């Protein structure tokens, strides 16, 4: 959510506020002195069709109940760092092969400069595929690594998995960050607590998409409500395929959503809230030139940095 840029760099660079994709392509390396809030915004009409060609003046950002000035805007497709977080517990056994095939297809249709990694979790979180640029990937090797890593056994530590996935994205190559969680949402083995996990989610740059795979015979052990909550808070979407054969369609829709996001950034007005009241609510409104009703989706807020946090 927060990208830090040095004020001097912004003032001296003639391209600092350009609309070119490079402004958002890679994670800035400047040290903190001005805080930008970066939002990835999906805009669709009532029929679910993505709306392209919108300009900066069509967007209004409300942060902490105040309208904000948009400092940067891009409607161009930019590379993303995408982490797959795949449930590797017993509940995944019926879906294992379909999930592997869908993940391979996702990689094949990704932007050539996208960065992809895969973590699996049961009682432990393990790396199944290290961060790799798509153009440098061998899809056969990727498929083999996924198949050998997803054994579908043991218990479920999804909170630990989310924590690990977000930590990995903090070191990602690109500013556009995505976590795709594939699970039934249940947890019976994490060391991390739910409240701590949700706080980390709200404080992250990542957009989380979830694919809920619920075994009809084990519904009581799943928690699709958690998966919907994660997606809603971060501006992603939650999918719950009725059949395992529908998993590829969910992955395809996620890929399309990533490719069709607008990226905007602004410096939030200072808050008068105390250090204990650090949660700021964000809403984005989009005006259609032809009067159509539009559906707008982005993250719903973030935790404001205090002076102590910036030290």
203-240 pLDDT tens trace: 898 999 999 998 766 655 689 999 999 999 999 999 99
Report the 10 Å Cβ neighbour count for 15: 9
Write the DSSP assignment of 168-209 as a string of letters: HHTT-SBSSEEEEEEE----SS-SS-HHHHHHHHHT-S-EEE
> DSSP code of 58?
G
Is pLDDT above 50 for 172?
yes
CATH of the domain at 223: 3.40.50.410
114-153 pLDDT tens trace: 999 999 999 999 999 999 999 999 999 999 999 999 999 9
Of 239, 259, 279, which residue is a domain's last? Answer: 259
Mean pLDDT of 94-113: 94
End-to-end Cα, the chain, rounded Å: 18
Q: Domain range holding 120?
A: 81-259
Please indicate, yes or no, whether residues 71 and 85 belong to a single structural domain of this protein: no
Of 305 and 98, the structure prediction assigns the larger pLDDT to: 98
What pLDDT was estimated at residue 279? 84
Please indicate, yes or no, whether residues 98 and 65 belong to a single structural domain of this protein: no
Q: Quick one: which of 37, 158, 159 has its CA closest to 91?
A: 158
Q: Quick one: which of 310, 250, 209 has its CA closest to 101?
A: 250
Q: Return d(Cα 279, Cα 305) in angstroms, integer.
A: 9
Task: Determine phi and psi for 203, rounding to 5 degrees.
Answer: -95, 5
Partners of 266 in the β-ladder: 37, 70
How many domains is the chain partitioned into structurally?
A: 2
Which range, of 6-15, 28-37, 234-243, averages the lowest pLDDT?
A: 6-15
Please indicate, yes or no, whether residues 12 and 61 belong to a single structural domain of this protein: yes
Report the 10 Å Cβ neighbour count for 309: 13
Please indicate, yes or no, whether residues 25 and 72 belong to a single structural domain of this protein: yes
Q: Angle, nearest 10°, between helix axes 158-169 and 194-202? A: 30
Sheet strands (E) in the chain: 2-5, 34-45, 59-63, 66-68, 70-74, 81-87, 115-121, 125-133, 177-183, 207-212, 238-239, 262-266, 279-286, 294-297, 301-303
Mean pLDDT of 260-289: 84
Is pLDDT above 60 for 285?
yes
Structure token pair of residue 43:
């805009």
Please indicate, yes or no, whether residues 57 and 170 belong to a single structural domain of this protein: no
Please indicate, yes or no, whether residues 111 and 255 belong to a single structural domain of this protein: yes
Residue holding tokens 């805009």? 43
Give the burial string for 207-217 (b: 16+ CB within 10 Å, else e): bbbbbbbbbee
Please indicate, yes or no, whether residues 115 and 233 belong to a single structural domain of this protein: yes
Tell if the pTM clears 0.75, that is, is over it: yes
Please indicate, yes or no, whether residues 184 and 281 belong to a single structural domain of this protein: no
| DSSP H or E run through 161 | helix 158-169
Please indicate, yes or no, whether residues 125 and 245 belong to a single structural domain of this protein: yes
Mean pLDDT of 248-259: 96
Please indicate, yes or no, whether residues 106 and 169 belong to a single structural domain of this protein: yes
Please indicate, yes or no, whether residues 189 and 271 belong to a single structural domain of this protein: no
What pLDDT was estimated at residue 245? 92
């Amino acid at each position: 959510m927060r990208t830090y840029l040095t004020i001097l760099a912004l003032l001296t660079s003639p391209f600092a506020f350009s609309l070119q994709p490079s402004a958002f392509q890679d994670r800035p390396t400047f040290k903190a002195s001005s805080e930008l809030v970066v939002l990835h915004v999906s805009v669709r009409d009532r029929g679910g069709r993505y709306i392209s060609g919108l300009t900066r003046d069509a967007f209004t950002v409300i942060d902490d109940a105040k309208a904000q000035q948009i400092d940067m805007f891009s409607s161009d497709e930019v590379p993303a760092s995408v982490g797959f977080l795949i449930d590797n517990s017993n509940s995944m056994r019926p879906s294992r092969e379909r999930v592997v095939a869908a993940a391979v297809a996702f990689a094949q249709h990704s932007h050539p400069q996208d960065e992809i990694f895969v973590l699996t979790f049961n009682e432990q979180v393990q790396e199944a595929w290290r961060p790799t640029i798509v153009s440098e990937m061998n899809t056969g090797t990727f498929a083999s690594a996924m198949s050998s890593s997803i054994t579908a056994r043991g218990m479920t530590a999804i909170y630990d998995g989310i924590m690990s996935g977000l930590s990995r994205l903090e070191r990602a190559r690109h500013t556009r960050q995505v976590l795709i969680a594939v699970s039934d949402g249940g947890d019976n083995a994490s060391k991390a607590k739910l409240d701590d996990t949700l706080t980390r989610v709200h404080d992250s740059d990542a957009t989380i998409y979830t694919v809920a795979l619920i075994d009809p015979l084990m519904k009581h052990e799943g928690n699709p409500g958690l998966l919907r909550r994660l997606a809603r808070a971060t501006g992603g979407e939650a999918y719950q395929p009725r059949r395992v054969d529908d998993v590829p369609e969910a992955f395809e829709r996620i890929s399309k959503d990533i490719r069709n996001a607008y990226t905007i950034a602004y410096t939030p007005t200072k808050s008068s809230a105390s250090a204990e009241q650090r949660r700021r609510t964000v809403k984005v409104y989009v005006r259609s030139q032809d009067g159509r009703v539009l559906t707008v989706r982005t993250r719903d807020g973030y935790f404001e940095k205090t002076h102590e946090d910036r030290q």
